[in-house]
C-alpha cells in the first residue's frame, strides 16, 4: 500500500471521527444537555432530531424525560396512637427541568433516587406520626398520600424534579404485634356483637309486648262489640217473638205448653207424679185446652 493510500485512509478515519463527534441525535424519551469544559451551554434539547456540537470540546449529558418509578425500602414508623407500622412505599416522578437538575444533582438519576429515599421516608414519618393507625388502614389513606406527595414535591421542585405521586403499597403491623392486635380486634368485635344482640333482644321484647297489648285491646274491643251485638240480637228476637205471639194468644199458650212437655219428657230419665186432670195436661184432654182451663 502506498503512502498516498495510507494518508487517505487516515484522513477518512479522522473525518468519520469528527462527524460522529459533531452530530448527535435526540431520542423522544430523552433530553440532552451540551457541556463545554463542564459548563452547560444553551438550553436542553428536548425535541427529537439531529443536532450538531463542537467536536472534542463539547460533550453530551442525556437525561430521561419519561415518568420514572421509585420504590423505597420498607421501614417502620410509629403512628399517632403509638402503634408500630411497617410501610412499603413507592413514588412516580419526572425530571421537568434538565438544566436545574444537572446543576443541583451532579450524581444524576442514581443520586436523585438516594435523595428521594430520604425525602419520602421523612415526609411519610412526619404525616403518619400525627394520625392514628386506623387512618392509614382506611379510606383516609388517600388524603394522607396527597399530603405527602405535596410535601415531597415542594422540596424536589428546587431540583428540577416533579413528584407526581407517592403511594403506600403495603402497611402491615410488625410480626411481634400482629397477634396481640388481632386478639384486641377480636375482643372488640365480640363486645360489639354482644351489644348488638342485647339491643336486638330488647327490641324483640318491646315489639312482642306491644303486639300482645294490641292483641288484648283488640280482643277486648271485639268481645265488647260482640256482647253489644248479642244483646241487640236478643232484644230484637224477644221483640219479634212478642209481636208474633201477641197476634194469637191461644197459639202462644199452646206453643209454651208444648215446650214445657218437651222439657219435661224429653230427657227420658225424669220421673214426675201428676194428676191427669191437672192443668198441666189440659191439652191431652182437649186439644183446644178448654177442659183444663175450665177446671182452673
List the chain residues with pLDDT less than 50: 291-296
Considering the entire predicted model, what is its pTM?
A: 0.52
Is 269 in a helix, a strand, or coil?
coil
pLDDT for the residue 139: 81
Residues in the chain: 296
Q: What are the cell numbers at 119?
A: 425525602
Distance CA 144, CA 138 (A): 11
pLDDT for the residue 275: 63
DSSP 54: -
Distance CA 278, CA 258 (A): 16
Residue extents of the structural domains in the chain: 3-64, 68-173, 192-247, 248-295
CATH of domain 68-173: 3.30.479.30
Contact criterion met (CB below 8 Å) for 166 and 152: yes
Distance CA 291, CA 287 (A): 9
pLDDT for the residue 259: 75
Element (H, E) at 284: helix 282-285
Element (H, E) at 35: strand 30-36
The C-alpha angle with vertex 193 and arms to 191 and 194, in degrees rounded to 5, equals 65
pLDDT for the residue 294: 45
Distance CA 171, CA 99 (A): 37
Element (H, E) at 77: strand 75-78
Distant-in-sequence contacts of 184-187, Cβ < 8 A, 24+ apart: none
| Sequential DSSP letters for 206-219 | HHHHHHHHHHHHHH
pLDDT for the residue 49: 86
DSSP 201: H
DSSP 164: E
pLDDT for the residue 272: 62
Strand 23-26 relative to strand 39-45: parallel, antiparallel, unpaired? Answer: unpaired
Amino acid at each position: 500500500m502506498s503512502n498516498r493510500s495510507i494518508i487517505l485512509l487516515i484522513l477518512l478515519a479522522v473525518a468519520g471521527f469528527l462527524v460522529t463527534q459533531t452530530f448527535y441525535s435526540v431520542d423522544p424519551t430523552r433530553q440532552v444537555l451540551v457541556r463545554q469544559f463542564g459548563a452547560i451551554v444553551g438550553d436542553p434539547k428536548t425535541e427529537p432530531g439531529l443536532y450538531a456540537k463542537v467536536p472534542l470540546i463539547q460533550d453530551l449529558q442525556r437525561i430521561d424525560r419519561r415518568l420514572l418509578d421509585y420504590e423505597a425500602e420498607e421501614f417502620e414508623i410509629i403512628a399517632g396512637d403509638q402503634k408500630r407500622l411497617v410501610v412499603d412505599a413507592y413514588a412516580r416522578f419526572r425530571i421537568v427541568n434538565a438544566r436545574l437538575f444537572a446543576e443541583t444533582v451532579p450524581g444524576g438519576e442514581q443520586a436523585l433516587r438516594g435523595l428521594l429515599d430520604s425525602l419520602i421516608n421523612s415526609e411519610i414519618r412526619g404525616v403518619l406520626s400525627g394520625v392514628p393507625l386506623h387512618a392509614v388502614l382506611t379510606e383516609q389513606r388517600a388524603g394522607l398520600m396527597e399530603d405527602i406527595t405535596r410535601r415531597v414535591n415542594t422540596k424536589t421542585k428546587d431540583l428540577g424534579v416533579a413528584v407526581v405521586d407517592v403511594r403506600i403499597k403495603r402497611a402491615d403491623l410488625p410480626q411481634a404485634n400482629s397477634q396481640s392486635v388481632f386478639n384486641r380486634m377480636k375482643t372488640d368485635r365480640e363486645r360489639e356483637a354482644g351489644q348488638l344482640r342485647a339491643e336486638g333482644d330488647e327490641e324483640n321484647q318491646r315489639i312482642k309486648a306491644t303486639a300482645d297489648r294490641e292483641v288484648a285491646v283488640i280482643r277486648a274491643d271485639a268481645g265488647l262489640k260482640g256482647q253489644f251485638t248479642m244483646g241487640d240480637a236478643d232484644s230484637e228476637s224477644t221483640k219479634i217473638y212478642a209481636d208474633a205471639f201477641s197476634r194469637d194468644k191461644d197459639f202462644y199458650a199452646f206453643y209454651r205448653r208444648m215446650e214445657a212437655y218437651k222439657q219435661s219428657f224429653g230427657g227420658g230419665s225424669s220421673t214426675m207424679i201428676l194428676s191427669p186432670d191437672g192443668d198441666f195436661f189440659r191439652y191431652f184432654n182437649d186439644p183446644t185446652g178448654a177442659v183444663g182451663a175450665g177446671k182452673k
